[in-house]
Amino acid sequence: MARVGLLGGTFNPPHIAHLVCAQEALVGLRLDRVLLVPAGVPPHKEVEADPGVAHRVAMCEAAVAGDDRLGVSRADAERSEPAYTVELLRAVSAAAPGDELSFIVGGDMAYTLPTWRDPEELLALARLAVAEREGVRRTDIAERLAGLAGAAERVDFFDMPRLDVSSSLLRRRAAAGGPLRYLVPDAVAAYIAREHLYTAPQRRSDGTRLSLGGNA
């Protein structure tokens, strides 16, 4: 049985904070591997300045290349419809029933777990791996989740250093011609440059412009 961490996100683009989070979860929780799970069609918000899921998957694969501890799952990227986290975990669990899954989130997201779709089933399908950072305390999260079946036994915490890097910042830097080196892996910077991503306003299939702003 492998202990596998799943780190979901739009990864638009993936950057050093994503990789540090994956590494700290792997080491801190003694996981065997962590997989980045690029979102296909997020259920709650549109992907800002989306170059397309194929590019986001390719950037994730470039980001983890050469590190056998990390990988990429296409479980969400290959879906044509929006998937809630519990639906994603059902699919991953069915495909690898022998693995013990840990779903990696930040403290702020963990605090909102009771509002997610089927949170108790989610905890049955995967352990919740919570990155501890400033702002949301472990005791606050434990109290918030106390009413959910399995929360006392299925929630793990690991330390995460503060890194103020965001995908939206990197998209703006790329659009302005600024350097991305040291903020993303070299292979991701090379991919963005080669494919001319984020250097001009992205457009939807209907021709309307997508903003380069927003959070990711």
Whether the per-residue pLDDT at 201 is higher than 60: the answer is no
- For 84-118, b/e burial (b = at least 16 CB within 10 A) is ebbbbbbbbbeeeeebebbbbbebebbbebeeeee
C-alpha span between 13 and 51 (Å, rounded): 10
In a domain, 135, yes or no: yes
* Angle made by CA atoms 91, 97, 145, in degrees to the nearest 5: 70
The answer to whether residues 43 and 83 touch, using CB atoms and an 8 Å cutoff, is yes
Between residues 206 and 58, which one has the greater pLDDT?
58
In a domain, 173, yes or no: no
pLDDT of residue 216: 35
Task: Identify the CATH number of the domain in which residue 154 sits.
Answer: 3.40.50.620
Whether the per-residue pLDDT at 35 is higher than 90: the answer is yes
In a domain, 114, yes or no: yes
pTM of the shown model: 0.89
CA 72 to chain centre: 11
Where does the pLDDT of residue 16 fall: very low under 50, low under 70, confident under 90, or very high at 90 and above? very high
| SS3 of the chain: helix, strand, coil, percent, to 5 | 40, 20, 45
> Could you give the dihedral angle defined by the CA atoms of residues 36, 132, 127 and 88, in that order, rounded to the nearest 10 degrees?
-40
In a domain, 43, yes or no: yes
Whether the per-residue pLDDT at 45 is higher than 90: the answer is no
- Among 47-56, 90-99, 133-142, 195-204, the least confident range: 195-204
Where does the pLDDT of residue 81 fall: very low under 50, low under 70, confident under 90, or very high at 90 and above? confident
Instruction: Please give the single-letter amino acid code of residue 206.
Output: D
203: DSSP letter: B
pLDDT of residue 150: 93
CA 48 to chain centre: 15
pLDDT of residue 134: 65
Domain that holds residue 104: 3-165
In a domain, 60, yes or no: yes
In a domain, 63, yes or no: yes
* Number of domains the chain contains: 1
Maximum average pLDDT range among 47-56, 69-78, 135-144: 69-78
What are the beta bridge partners of residue 156? 129
Between residues 133 and 81, which one has the greater pLDDT?
81
pLDDT of residue 209: 46
Mean residue pLDDT of the chain comes to: 90
Give all strands (DSSP E) within 136-204, no chain letters.
155-159
C-alpha span between 135 and 36 (Å, rounded): 24
In a domain, 112, yes or no: yes
C-alpha span between 182 and 31 (Å, rounded): 26
**What are the pLDDT digits (tens) for 142-200?**
999 999 999 999 999 999 998 999 999 999 999 999 999 999 999 999 999 999 999 86
In a domain, 211, yes or no: no
